[in-house]
Structure formats: structure tokens, C-alpha cells
Amino acid sequence: MCGIIGYIGDRPAAEVIIKGLKRLEYRGYDSVGIVTEENGILHILKGAGKIDEVVERLALHRMPGKRGVGHTRWATHGVPNDINAHPQRDCTGKLALVHNGIIENFSELKEELIKKGHSFESDTDTEVIAHLIEEELKSGESFEKALRKALLKLKGSFALGIIYTEEPDRLYFVRNESPLVLGIGNGEMFAASDVPAFLEYTNRVVFLDDMEYAVVTKDSWIVKNLITGEPVKKEVREISWTLEMAEKAGFPHFMLKEIFEQPRALRDAIHGNVEAVKLVAREIANYDKVYFVAMGTSYHAALAGKYLFQRLAKKVPVVEEASEFRYEFEELVDERTLLIAITQSGETADTLAAMKLAKRKGAKVLAIVNVVGSMATRIADLTLYTHAGPEIGVAATKTYTTQLAVLTMLAIELARILGTADEDYLKKLESELRGVPDRVEEVLGLSDSLRELAENLKDRRDFFYIGRSIGLPTALEGALKLKEISYIHAEGLSAGELKHGPLALIEENVPVVAIAPSGKTLDKTMSNIEEARARGAFVVSLGDSEKLRKVSDVFIEMPKLDELLSPIPYIVPLQLLAYHLAVLRGNDPDKPRNLAKSVTVE
Ligand code: F6R
């Protein structure tokens, strides 16, 4: 996730852009850059670092010109450094652009462009777009046509702000699967990833939809369809948010905003890993000894990864909390070992220690990480990124579901390489996975009814979350979410374990949340639900089968999906339930007591 902003009007563009970037800093903060234009010359200044630092170091506020675009980066391709910072430009230096999103097919495009004589400065996927437009312009097309032709070659997500010296009075903005909104002023126009970037100047906005682009001058704007080039009728809306509300996109907390960002984050995770997963799966296929290490929520993702690897690739990895791994597995790790570390921050001390130990013993180390350039990525031999964007709420939400998406892709690819599952089935799973962001969107529609449920349950003291097989990690993660932000005691356990002890704790009205997708273990989980109900439990179940509804006090209807894909949508109602309970109990879900976003001490 990155933030982009553009301005055209009579004010010094750099000033407006810097202010906007500060308001977008929550979207990314590893590098910053601006391009402005004056007298037909582009001025580009950019560098790695936080906005204030870079503004100061490069004197960004002194940049000339009354039109320009700017960017605050959250690295996806290419480490955070000065060269990879946006804007990126073409070979002529006449065209520059900023980008939020991920171009899936950038390596093929880059190869073709290099063959055609283009030279690249950065490691970014973004630079490819500038050269592609330049290439299309060579055939003498109008800029707009060349732009459309170039962009239709891209696979992936993009919101773009583009400036071209030969089109002196305008800016172009494009949207596909990454947010973009126009700000309509009087004699000036704005565009940004998010409203707060320009809310100080105007509250009149136009939201672009996927595959739309805008041509903006200081006095006019028009939105067109990227495929046909035809104008699209758009509505100008007036936003009544305060600045603070706007930074959270109108959500009262970052956590809720991040929960609702999951469809977008999942799309980026899936698009952004199509090629990388193939490479990494080939590596995993060479190892018999595979360990997953992680902590907290990432550990639950690892557990889901184990079920996926087992079921699809018939490979049984060992899953350990990183804090345990260091002491228990030292003797067992050698050069035939592959260690897969999962960590959102890439800075968790226990996870880093396990990775270092594995490296010392000659093992291969793979990391699944959200923060590009973090320590884990520097230790690992290979890294897969979850592309969730910065997560500000302390409780992990979108970073968890994107970890699950990456692990699912990895398991599918591994099964393909090892020949352990039918290709038609793997294809069906892949296509269902691509639909999962839409399924999550549907589940988000349950938020209001989950708030009502939370009203009902807010004074309960203990919760139990049960699930079997691939449902178990969801039960564990659901319980963790509840504990950490609502401060209610919660236990996650395998449904089968219930009657081996914990059942003694079930009494009248104790909530039991059952994760029960249709699949191998549904009937058994239903028997466990009946056992709990017989002791007075208040059963909230998540599933897709009508028979489950009959044995539940509250039935949360989930989309029908292959059970192996259930961990992604099924955690969403549990995130929402925990969130609403926390708020109803007067807690700040973004900053739970005693907890920190990254745990850098052991
Ligand atoms: C819970 C949560 C933590 C982290 C854990 C590991 O919501 O966020 O349990 O999952 O501290 O952090 P990372 O993934 O950064 O290694």
C-alpha cells in the first residue's frame, strides 16, 4: 500500500502535495517523492525515509511549479531506497508517474522493454509503466490513446498519477483495484488515494471505479473508461468528515478500517505472488524437513499452513512457536532443513532468533513478511511478501488473512510440483481463491448483526472457540483477537478436546463459538456442539450448512467454499465480534493495554 496525491492549480504544487503526503503517511512511510513541472521541465526529488526527514533533506517545499504528483511509499517490489522511491520516469525524462498497487506481470514486460532498448533505473514494478507508455507513444498515438494501450497490458492493481511535459495543462489519474479519488476545487483540482490528503482544500469529491481514468486540468475534469475511452458519468459528492475521521476513511478505529480493507489486501496478496510462489514452492519441494516458526497471530497462520501442506502436498511440516523452537530444535536443524518464518513486522525478536539459529546450522530460511526491508527479509534466503500494506491497529487482521492467502497459494503450487493432488482440483481451488476477496466483502456485510450479537454478549466472562482440522487455527485466532482487545478470557481449542477437560467449565450461557465449515469434520464438530449445548452453552456457529443452523443459538452464515479456503473468510466475523465487544466495553481496540505492535524483545 502506498499513498499518492496530485495537484494542479495556482498554488505552489509542492506545498499542497507535501501536506497531502503527511495526511497519507499511514498508508506507507519508507520513502517519499514528488515531481512538479515548470516551463516544460520536470523536477523530481525523492528519497528513502520518513516524510519530514525527506522534505527537510531535499528541500521539497522549494520545488517550483503549479502542477505535480507525489508519493509516500510502502515498498512492494524493490527495497526502500532513493532510486526505488517514486516518481519513476521513462527514458526521455518527459514522463513521470507515481503508483500504488502491484503489477503482476512486470518482469515479462520489463524483459520485453529492455529488448526494445529501454533502460531501467530502479527495481520497481512501477517503472515498467512509464516505459510502456513511452513505447506506445513511439507509434505516434495521442497521449491518451498510448496511455490506454499501455495500461491495458498490465495485470494487477494500480492507482496512478501521471505527468507528461508534452501535455502541459493537465494531469492523468488512473484506477484499477487501488483507491483513487478526485477533489474538485475552484480553479484547482486534486486527486489522491484517500480524501484526507486534500480535505483541507475541498470536500467535493469524485470516486473513481476500477478501470477508469481521469483527465484533469485546473478548471475541468472528466472520467473515462480505460477499455473504451468513452466518458463515464460520475457523481460529485460532498464529504462531511472531519480530518481525523477521514484519515481512518470514516471508520472510528484503524482496526475496523483494516478489517474492511481485507478484500483489497487479499487481492494484492494474490496478484503480487503469482510468480514468486512458483519459485519458492520449487525450493520447498527439495526439502523433507520443513519447519514453520512464528508467534501470536502469525503462528496461527503457520498452523493453517500446516493443514494446507498436509492436505494438498502430503508434506507434514513441524509448526513451532519461535520462542520454543530455539531451545527445542537446535540439535535437529541442519542443512537438510527448510525453515519458514512467518512474521508481519519482520522484527519479532523470537522469530528473528529462530531464523538466525537455522542459518547458523546451515538450513535454508524462507520468510513470509509484510514489511519490506525488515530484518527478517535481510536474514532470509528467500522472502514472500503479503502486500497487506501498513497495519496500524495493534491487533493483526489484514496481515493474518494475507498470510493465509500466500500459504494457500504456496500449498497449491507445492502440490502441483509434487504431483500430490489432481490438477483439476488445484485449478478449481485457485479459481475459488481468486474469488475469496469478494467472499470476504460479503462477510463484511455482517458487521451490524455482529455488533448486535456483541451487545448481547458483552458482559460474559469466558468464551470458548472450537474447531477441528483446518477450522482449529481459526478458533485459536478468534480467541486471541477477543482476549487482546476486549480483555475477556477466551480459549481456543480443538472441538475434540472439549470433553477431555474443558467441558467442565461450560455452564449456563457460556458462549461457545464453533467454526464448522462443511467438510470432513462437520458432523463430528456438530456432536461437540450438542455436548456443549446440553450443558447450557450459548452456541454461536459459523458455517454454510442448514443443519448447523438447527443446533445453534446464533448461526453466522458463511459463503460456500472449499473447506481449505475457509480460514480466510471465517476469521472475519470473529475479528468483527472482538472489535465490537472491545468498543462496547469501552476499550480502545487500536491500542490494547500491555501490548505493542512489534515485540522486539524476547
Ligand atoms: C495479535 C498480534 C500478535 C503478532 C505477534 C507476531 O493480534 O498481532 O500476536 O501476531 O506478535 O508478530 P509478527 O507477525 O510481527 O512477527
The per-residue DSSP string of 327-351 comes to HHSGGG--TTEEEEEEESSS--HHH
Listed in order, strand segments (DSSP E) in 142-201 are 156-164, 171-176, 181-184, 189-192
pLDDT at residue 245, as a whole number: 65
Position 246 in a domain: no
Q: Is ligand 1 within 6 A of the CB of residue 249?
A: no
Q: Is residue 33 part of a domain?
A: yes
- Residue 15's Cβ-count burial label (10 Å; 0-12, 13-18, 19+) is middle
Grid coordinates belonging to 111: 524483459
Q: Is 396 in the pocket of ligand 1 (CB under 6 A)?
A: yes
Q: Which residue has the cell 503482476?
A: 104
For 272-289, b/e burial (b = at least 16 CB within 10 A) is bbbebbeebbeebbebee
The answer on pLDDT for 438 being more than 90 is yes
User: Measuring CA to CA, which residue among 26, 25, 3, 30 is closest to residue 374?
Assistant: 30
585 confidence band (pLDDT: 50, 70, 90): very high
Phi-psi region of 90 (alpha: psi -120 to 50; beta: other; left: phi over 0): beta
Residues annotated as part of the active site: 2, 597
**Ligand 1: residue whose CA is nearest its atom 16:** 343
Query: Which residues, in sequence order, are CB contacts of 360 under 8 Å at separation 6+?
Result: none
Residue with cell 486540468: 217
Are 449 and 435 contained in the same domain? no
pTM for the whole thing? 0.77
397 within ligand 1 shell (Cβ under 6 A)? no
> Residue 171: which CATH number?
3.60.20.10
Whether 472 and 421 map to the same domain: the answer is no
Computed from CA positions of residues 525, 530, 536, 540, in that sequence, does the dihedral angle turn out positive or negative? positive
Count of CB atoms within 10 A of residue 235's CB? 7
- 281 CA to centre of ligand 1 in angstroms: 25
Whether the pLDDT of residue 77 is over 90: the answer is no
Does 518 sit in the ligand 1 pocket, CB within 6 Å? no
402 lines ligand 1 (CB under 6 A): no
Same domain as 476, residue 369: no
Please tell me the predicted confidence (pLDDT) of residue 299. Answer: 98
Ligand 1 pocket check for 341: Cβ under 6 Å? no
Do 488 and 392 belong to one domain? no
In a domain, 479, yes or no: yes
Residue 42 and residue 80 in one domain: yes
* Distance in Å, CA 85 to ligand 1 centroid: 28
Full domain range(s) for residue 100: 3-241
Gap from CA of 296 to ligand 1 centroid (Å)? 5
How confident is residue 228, by pLDDT bands cut at 50, 70 and 90? very high
pLDDT tens-place string over residues 455-467: 999 999 999 999 9
CA-CA distances (angstroms) from residue 568 to 357, 413, 473? 31, 18, 11
Using CA atoms, how far apart are residues 437 and 439, in angstroms rounded to an integer? 5
* Distance from chain centroid for Cα 427: 23
Ligand 1: residue whose CA is nearest its atom 5: 296
Question: Do 294 and 341 touch, CB atoms closer than 8 A?
Answer: yes
327/200 same-domain check:
no
Please tell me the distance between residue 127's alpha carbon and the centre of ligand 1 in angstroms: 33
- The tens digit of pLDDT for each residue in 249-260 reads 789 999 999 999
Choose one of 241, 273, 306: the last residue of a domain. Answer: 241
Answer yes or no: are the C-beta atoms of 433 and 440 closer than 8 Å. Answer: no
Total domains, the chain: 3
Nearest CA to ligand 1 atom 3: 296
Looking only at the bridges linking them, the beta strands covering 538-543 and 318-321 are unpaired
73 grid coordinates: 511509499
The tens digit of pLDDT for each residue in 507-543 reads: 999 999 999 999 989 999 999 999 999 999 999 999 9
Give the mean pLDDT of the chain: 94
Residue 76 lies in a domain: yes
Single out the residue of 338, 363, 340 nearest to residue 351, CA to CA: 340
For position 345, which CATH number holds?
3.40.50.10490
Report the residue among 325, 477, 599 best suited for mutation to probe ligand 1: largest number of ligand atoms under 8 A from its CB: 599
Structural domain includes residue 426? yes
What is the 343 CA–ligand 1 centroid distance (Å)?
7
Q: pLDDT value at position 178? A: 84
**Residue 588 near residue 487 (C-beta atoms within 8 A):** no
Residues 558 and 433 in one domain: no
- Domain membership of residue 597 (yes or no) is yes
Q: Which three cell numbers stand for residue 459?
A: 458482559
In this structure, the answer to whether residues 340 and 455 fall within a common structural domain is no
Together in a domain, 229 and 284: no
Residues 531, 480: one domain?
yes
Asked whether residue 188 is domain-assigned, the answer is: yes
| Secondary-structure breakdown of the chain: helix, strand, coil percentages, each rounded to the nearest 5 | 45, 20, 35
In a domain, 247, yes or no: no
Domain end among 189, 220, 241: 241
Which atom of ligand 1 is nearest to 299's Cα?
A: 10
Query: Within this chain, do residues 422 and 492 fall inside the same structural domain, yes or no?
Result: no
pLDDT for the residue numbered 600: 60
Q: Which of 303, 344, 392 to mutate to test the pocket of ligand 1 (most atoms within 8 A of CB)?
A: 344
d(CA 4, CA 162): 11
Main-chain dihedrals φ then ψ at residue 242, nearest 5 degrees? -80, 170
Give the lowest-confidence range in 379-393, 509-523, 587-601.
Answer: 587-601
Pocket-testing residue among 258, 325, 345, ligand 1, by greatest number of atoms within 8 A of Cβ? 345
Quick one: average pLDDT of 89-115?
Answer: 95
How many A from CA of 298 to the centre of ligand 1? 6
- Which of 241, 263, 290 is the last residue in one of the domains? 241
pLDDT in tens, 128-175: 999 999 999 999 999 999 999 999 999 998 999 999 999 999 999 999
139 in the same domain as 16: yes
Structure-block grid coordinates of residue 573: 466475523
Q: How confident is the model at residue 428 (pLDDT cuts 50, 70, 90)?
A: very high
User: Looking at residues 535-557, what average pLDDT do you find?
Assistant: 96
